[in-house]
Structure 1
Amino acid sequence: MLYYLFRFLEQYGISGARIWGYISFRALLALILSLIISAWFGEKFIKYLKSKQITETQRDAKIDPFGVNKIGVPSMGGVIIIVSILIPALLLGRLRNIYLILMLITTVWLGFLGGMDDYIKIFHRNKEGLKGKYKIVGQIGIGLIVGLVLWASPDVKSNENIVLQRQGQEVVVKHRTEARKTLKTTIPFVKGHNLDYSSVMSFCGKYKTAAGWILFVVMTILVVTAVSNGANLNDGMDGMCAGNSAIIGVALGILAYVSSHIQFAAYLNIMYIPGSQELVVFMCAFVGALIGFLWYNAYPAQVFMGDTGSLTIGGIIGVCAVIIHKELLLPILCGIFFVESLSVICQVWYYKLGKRHGVKQRIFKRTPIHDNFRVTDEQLDPDCKYLIKSPHSPKHESKITIRFWIITIILAALTIITLKIR
């Protein structure tokens, strides 16, 4: 909104109005504004949650060997994150930009879905919350909307990168002069650097382009659903999900910026995506909101984000990656989310496998994997066989959280490095 106001004032020669056209100014202002809103609104909202007794009642207080009781801590703190993202994005973003519109829709959609889950858990005292099938339907729904819009919208175009010739030790990269719709996406560690979905579906003959778009929509649904659920599983310790997601948000903001800058895109040999600079504004608001939220969510937490926050965070990460054609980099960038999800899947599979043979068995002491590091041997089921029982002594929650942050920083750096490694 402010962007359009100052662009209007610029026509009349108002001093300072032109600065609002610079993406760096609006992005950094969004970061600062979201952080301030998150810190200020967070305090007010936490007091409101306590007054209405919207607090955690289902957490297992015994899981923490250091004796921190988390029952009674306010939940649904994801509202703080969502509000802190939406206000700066609406004020400072170009609201006619299709990419920004998709990010706003994703935030509201998954915020509502997660809010319904938290509402059922807190007010109906139902530990299971919203049934899993309804969550999946909601996640598939937003993934389908994003995929179809990116397919059908005439505003979604890219300038493909073309390697022209080698000059000495350097490869000269140019982009097509006209932006057009493309089914290509960045793939790591490959010399050509691009994967064409239509080429994957080449067995469909003359229908390979249509089949490629269908594959793209399916991939979008899978990415949004997987990352959203991965973030949800990662939200199990104070500051864990918010910290990891802020780091991922910084990496995606950098990728969005270089994708929107034709010189940087040529240097890195990636597609140039006109209009994706608005994602930088949004991701800066995203990072600022998470950092401000950490003020209250850091150990010991004064508020939990709940599914209202975790499902939204994961969806934002997934949709942003799809828009800038970097979804195939997510297994690296979101490696923590991937391992969290994989640990749960393997644990359930191994348990069911043993159950068929009348054996009670598990791979880890507890999943998601971060819980494995804070469980004492005394808390284990004596009738169950554990494939992995280390570590035998529990680690403090804050130590586990910070170590996961460090791993995510390494993965984020590796993700950006892959743009030059091929």
Structure 2
Amino acid sequence: MIRLLVAAAIAGLISLFGTRSLIRFLRKHAIGQPIRQDGPQGHVSKAGTPTMGGVAIVVGALAGYAISDLYNGIFTRTGLIVMAAIVGAGIVGFVDDWLKVSRERNLGLGKRTKILGLLVVAVGYAVLMIHLTDVRTNLSFTRYDSLDIDLGPWGWGLWAVLLILGTSNAVNLTDGLDSLAAGSSMFAFAAFVVIAFWAFRNQDIYGIPHALDLAIVAAAMVGAAAGFMWWNAAPAQIFMGDTGSLALGTGLAALALATNTHLLLPIIGGLFVMETLSVIIQVFSFRVFGTRVFRMAPVHHHFELAGWPETTVIIRLWIMTGLATAVALGLFYADFVSIGGAD
């Protein structure tokens, strides 16, 4: 338990002060976020706000995890691979962000190039997990044997790649309002702290050898996101950029795969699913029927254009995220009770 607190505290402090230093550096060098021309008009005033704040999130989480294990723990292959995936996705996002600010327009890596970068990270994660860890290759909901569907190494690897690509892009779509993605991710990573620590305390049921180290990774991500949010709260003094959103999304997917909670992830990250579906529905409706379902997609912009103040949209979506997280943890514990784990 102390290691969890150490990881979260160190990650939070480094992210907090690191973000402040980033703001000063980026302002000094006039490095700011270009705003998409077709976005809500209320966002025009945000043009020039420092971006790439996700660097502080990734560095903070990495430091919190590393120092926690040096303090009184042991590095595990599973924990290192999950953290490597987070850093790798952050690097892809950083390149995208840097191209945007250097070109002074909201165009970074091309879609194919960005997907290719994430694909390298996802494939690398899947290959390393299969060959270097004891990860179960079952499709799972709350534990590895909850569905009794074995995908095999190749099937699990393909599923892992799809889950990482989908989740990283879902968080990226959600990152459109101040602290919306960071705050929602905090709920999700907090859920994985509970899940992984519970699995550590009940090894005979969940069969995750490195569960405690995964809880440390999740705790470090909670702390790092919290430190960043101090400066990202509306009105944001800095944006996380793709550096942060891709790292957060990849971290959530990697933890779900490592804790055998693949199908619980869409409930934990219910907001991210809703945001992604709103874009899919909008595109499909316009191309097939020539009409738009939402005023603008992703759906958080729809609420803005409906007249909700930005902070109202953020807080209400946080509430939805908190409820989704509570439901997910409730299902996780209900499954534990149903197999006699509480006896």
Question: Could you state the TM-score of these two structures normalised by the residue count of structure 1?
Answer: 0.75
* Separation of aligned partners in 1, 2:192 and 2:232: 23
Task: Give the 3 Å change call, closer, same or farther, for CA 418–344 of structure 1 in structure 2.
Answer: same
Q: Give the corresponding residue for 1:48.
A: 25
Matches within 5 A, 1:148-187: 148-153=127-132, 155-156=133-134, 182-187=136-141
Matches within 5 A, 1:204-219: 212-219=152-159
Q: Give the corresponding residue for 1:70.
A: 46
Alignment equivalent of 1:325, drawn from 253, 260, 266: 260
Q: Give the corresponding residue for 2:276.
A: 341
Shift of 1:57: 2.3
Shift of 1:187: 2.2
Q: Which runs of 5+ in 1 are unaligned?
A: 1-23, 158-181, 202-211, 355-359, 376-390
Shift of 1:35: 1.3
Cα deviation digits, residues 277-308 of structure 1 (max 9, x gap): 01111111110111111110000000000001
* Separation of aligned partners in 1, 2:243 and 2:278: 23
Alignment equivalent of 1:87, drawn from 63, 80, 93: 63
- AA in 1 matched with 2:322: I
- AA in 1 matched with 2:182: A
Alignment equivalent of 1:364, drawn from 260, 273, 294: 294
- AA in 2 matched with 1:304: F
Q: Give the corresponding residue for 1:383.
A: none
2:313 equivalent to 1:400: yes
Q: Is the 8 A contact 1:95 1:101 kept in 2?
A: no
* Separation of aligned partners in 2, 1:255 and 1:352: 41
For the residue of structure 1 that corresponds to 2:147, the secondary structure is strand
Shift of 1:332: 0.8
Q: Is the 8 A contact 1:50 1:74 kept in 2?
A: yes
Shift of 1:330: 1.1
More contact order relative to length (CA 8 Å, sep ≥ 6): 2
2:193 equivalent to 1:253: yes
Matches within 5 A, 1:135-284: 135-153=114-132, 155-156=133-134, 182-187=136-141, 194-198=146-150, 212-262=152-202, 270-284=205-219
For the residue of structure 1 that corresponds to 2:308, the secondary structure is coil
* Separation of aligned partners in 2, 1:232 and 1:197: 30
Q: Which one has a bigger Cα radius of gyration?
A: 1
Task: Give the 3 Å change call, closer, same or farther, for CA 196–140 of structure 1 in structure 2.
Answer: farther
Q: Is the 8 A contact 1:38 1:293 kept in 2?
A: yes
Cα deviation digits, residues 344-392 of structure 1 (max 9, x gap): 11111111113xxxxx4211100001100011xxxxxxxxxxxxxxx4x
Q: Which runs of 5+ in 2 are unaligned?
A: 339-343
Q: Give the corresponding residue for 2:13.
A: 36
Question: Could you state the TM-score of these two structures normalised by the residue count of structure 2?
Answer: 0.91
2:101 equivalent to 1:122: yes
* Separation of aligned partners in 2, 1:31 and 1:96: 17
Shift of 1:329: 0.6
Q: Is the 8 A contact 1:197 1:216 kept in 2?
A: no
For the residue of structure 1 that corresponds to 2:325, the secondary structure is helix
Cα deviation digits, residues 302-344 of structure 1 (max 9, x gap): 0000001000100001001100100111111111111111111
For the residue of structure 1 that corresponds to 2:46, the secondary structure is coil
Q: Give the corresponding residue for 1:416.
A: 329
More deviation in 304-313 or 125-134?
Answer: 125-134
Bigger strand share: 1
* Separation of aligned partners in 2, 1:255 and 1:98: 19
RMSD: 2.1
Bigger helix share: 2
